[in-house]
A and B are shown apart, each in its own frame.
Chain A
Amino acid sequence: MPASVATQRATPAALAASGLTKRYAERVALREVSFSAAPGELVAVIGPNGAGKTTLLSILAGIQRPDAGEVTRPPREIGWVPQQPAVYSKLSVAENLRLFARLEKVADVEAVVARMLEQTGLAERADDELGKLSGGNRQRVNIAIGLLAEPPVLLLDEPSSSLDPRQRARLWEFIGGQTARGTAVIFSTHDVQEAERYADRVLVLADGELLFAGTARELAATVQPAGGEAAGPQDFETAFVRFLHGRGH
């Protein structure tokens, strides 16, 4: 475990969830999921399709109510960035930011909008309609809206799924800046390499069950073949697939 993460874990959690359960009729989408995230920590939620990643994040964001369990922070204190950019394509970048800043009731709307334009690097395109921006730039505005109220926790649902490698790198640079300011970031992703590269910890969900919570290295260690180094190195994706197979998924 990296020292920085160990230090963060000693501090009070920015967000904690305990016993989260969600059912859709007979199907259990989440089964007693509990975890916490420290301030400045970057947590990845990974798992196969239908594992319950989006359900978990939407419950944390307050969009859905759990059938059981609780989250320590109310939705207003959590920034939410949905998978698809939740912005108005007929409004400009600045108008989108201004609208959501007003709805978030931030104290100085214009100052916050100016700061987010600077952070996203979109100051020069502030007056451009969202619909005319690239997918990467739209996603930057999408994330900026989630950060307008300077929440201590930011949730991102598959933030890089529609981005090219260059846009992806800029996204993680931006998110890294947020964690450096002490924001706890929890994101879901299908890209396990991305989780390994950027996340301090990973949560592995499968069929609504939390199978693992720890660092990527710890996850890989759980599936280290007998004989250790003799069996040769394995990438994280292989380790993740083996881990799931080992748990019957």
Chain B
Amino acid sequence: MRWLLLKDLRILRRSPLLVALLVIYPIAIALLIGFALSRGPGKPAIAIYNEIPASQRSFEVAGSRLNASEYLPALLRSVDVVRAASRADARRLVRDGKVLGAVILPPDITQKLATGREQPTIEVLYNGEDAVKQRYVASVIRARMAEANLALSHRFQQATVGYLRLLLEGGTLTILGREVNILGLENAHAITAGAIAALPLRSPLRTSLAPVAQFGRIAIENLGVSRDVLKSVGQPVRVRQVIVGGKRTPLDTFAAAISVTVSLMFLTLLLAAGLLALEREEHAFSRLVRGLVSRVGLLIEKISLAALCAFGVTLLMLLTLGGLFIELDWSRFPQWLLALALGAVAFAALGVAIGGLAREVRAASLLAFLLSLPIVFLALVPSGAVSDGLYDVVQVVSACFPFKATLQALDAALNGGGGLAAPLAHLALLAVAYTALARLAVGRRFG
């Protein structure tokens, strides 16, 4: 077996283009998947045209001065801003595809906010050229508008609570530069109560003032509660996030686990399937298995070589990711090795099963490639995305291939959550099953 291993390594060394493709292609795909999972789309360009006159950009709400510009940053987070010179310019930028959307702040926005009687409207222009980005822009603008609205609502709420307090407790209010004393309900109630107490018991005025005193008491009680009610109106529902079961895996680490697993899968499958198919393509298979090496020995040699090469490449990839891009728990390094090694062996066993079924390297590579993508997609289908019955089927199908188990093992090894033993046992079982399948495939009638 040693001589076959050396022979295969020599053949690989003399096929630099093939080796480069085998290494670069899966890593490129894995990185793309990793980026796609760990990041949203790139910042889309959005044009802004601010029609509010510079002198009117601040407005007064309940004695507090607010500036409309201070809410723009919240609106424009996650987008690249292009300042438009005019409304027509904003429209042109959108139409020409220079930006995906334009936000137009109308001139009367501060006035309407200040009076509070009419809801101001912000105009958004979209470019429908790219449906995905359009949806992203719409979603970003909606989310940012909600944040800006919430911030404004909070300021209005503070102002309203101030008015309520003034109404309840009394104080001074500045109107057109003049300070006006406000008596307040509590003081009014105290005065009314005092006046009633000073009146003779049988005075008809006492009977007339009694409903006023009662109104004052009820108003005081209810206005006291209304401050809390207002806070609830500003944010009716609060969210408390609790993760039930599973583990708290950071998205970037999970993306790294997926990237490495995808690389491991492509590299090992293509290498194992190709190496075994090459023996048939070169017509050497029959010569080898007629006494020079057993069929199982030949399979183990291919599995070992493919797994070893893929293990080395993906370990290097993981070390690079951990060293340069993401934070990994280096104390769990032995677990990384275990997960990578078992995953590589299971994928290599699947690879030789594919190589045993195909008689040519090209057919084996195509078969390996065609099988790989659905395996990845099925393994990444989240619960709830499909019906319960279909999800069960997806789970069973995924369990028949090493991708999901490798991902689980690598995720557990990298993040420490979940058990590592179960996915490793699963991978070992798959490796044995696929080796047996490959043995059946290479035992078919010769020629």
A residues in contact (CB < 8 Å) with B: 24, 54, 58, 61-64, 74-76, 80, 82, 84-91, 95, 99-100, 102-104, 129, 145
Are A58 and B7 in contact (CB-based, < 8 A)?
no
- Total contacting residues, chain B, CB less than 8 A: 22
Distance in angstroms from B202 CB to nearest chain A CB is: 122
- The CA of A145 and the CA of B283, in the complex, are separated in Å by 13
- Partner pick for A91 among B7, B286, B290, CB 8 A cutoff: B7
> Which of B9-17, B314-322, B398-406 lies at the interface?
B9-17
Are A58 and B446 in contact (CB-based, < 8 A)?
yes
Q: Which residue of A lies closest to B281 (CB)?
A: A89
Are A62 and B284 in contact (CB-based, < 8 A)?
no
User: Which of A74, A76, A100 has the most C-beta atoms of chain B within 10 angstroms of its own C-beta?
Assistant: A100
Q: Mark B360-376, 1 if CB is under 8 A from A, else 0.
A: 00000000000000000
Are B286 and A63 in contact (CB-based, < 8 A)?
yes
Distance in angstroms from A164 CB to nearest chain B CB is: 21
Are A63 and B3 in contact (CB-based, < 8 A)?
no
CB of B445 within 8 A of chain A?
Answer: yes
Are B282 and A87 in contact (CB-based, < 8 A)?
yes
Q: Mark B188-219, 1 if CB is under 8 A from A, else 0.
A: 00000000000000000000000000000000
B contact face: mostly helix, strand, loop, or mixed? loop
Are B10 and A64 in contact (CB-based, < 8 A)?
no
With a cutoff of 8 Å between Cβ atoms, the chain A residues found around residue B289 in the complex are 63
Are A58 and B447 in contact (CB-based, < 8 A)?
yes
With a cutoff of 8 Å between Cβ atoms, the chain A residues found around residue B284 in the complex are 86-88
With a cutoff of 8 Å between Cβ atoms, the chain A residues found around residue B4 in the complex are 103
B252-309 at interface with A (beta carbon < 8 Å):
282-293
- The CA of A175 and the CA of B210, in the complex, are separated in Å by 133
With a cutoff of 8 Å between Cβ atoms, the chain A residues found around residue B447 in the complex are 54, 58
- The CA of A228 and the CA of B189, in the complex, are separated in Å by 149
- The CA of A58 and the CA of B289, in the complex, are separated in Å by 12
Are B15 and A63 in contact (CB-based, < 8 A)?
no
- Partner pick for B445 among A61, A64, A82, A129, CB 8 A cutoff: A64
Are A104 and B292 in contact (CB-based, < 8 A)?
yes
With a cutoff of 8 Å between Cβ atoms, the chain B residues found around residue A74 in the complex are 291
Are B283 and A99 in contact (CB-based, < 8 A)?
no
- Partner pick for A90 among B10, B285, B287, B446, CB 8 A cutoff: B10
23 sampled A-B residue pairs with Cβ under 8 A: A62-B290, A63-B290, A63-B446, A80-B286, A82-B283, A84-B283, A86-B285, A86-B287, A87-B282, A87-B284, A88-B7, A88-B282, A89-B282, A90-B14, A91-B7, A91-B11, A95-B7, A99-B3, A99-B7, A100-B287, A103-B4, A103-B293, A145-B287
